Amino acid sequence: MSRTRYRLVVDPVACDGAGVCAELLPELIGLDPWGFPIVESGGVPPALVDLARRATVSCPRLALHLVRVDD
């Protein structure tokens, strides 16, 4: 049985470093010295998918994307 897996992708052109994502999802997103997000590269654990989705729709620039991983 396979479960859909996701990863988070930041559109660095759209992102202006508001930092909302890091506040809503500190488990997977940190900030660099200039306030831009650094996203955990390992993908989104199933338990955090809903929170990750909430972070994407809360981004004021809609720069955070939850992308399905095809394996």
Which residues contribute to the site for another protein (CB under 8 A)?
9-17, 32-36, 38, 65, 67
* Secondary structure letter of residue 44 according to DSSP: B
CB 9 within 8 A of CB 65: yes
Q: Which is nearer to another protein, 48 or 61 (CB)?
A: 61
Quickly count: other Cβ atoms within 10 Å of residue 52's Cβ.
22
Nearest distance from residue 30's CB to another protein, in Å? 11
Beta carbon of residue 1, minimum distance to another protein (angstroms, whole number): 28
Residue 15 C-beta: closest distance to another protein, Å: 6
Cα separation of 60 and 48, whole Å? 20
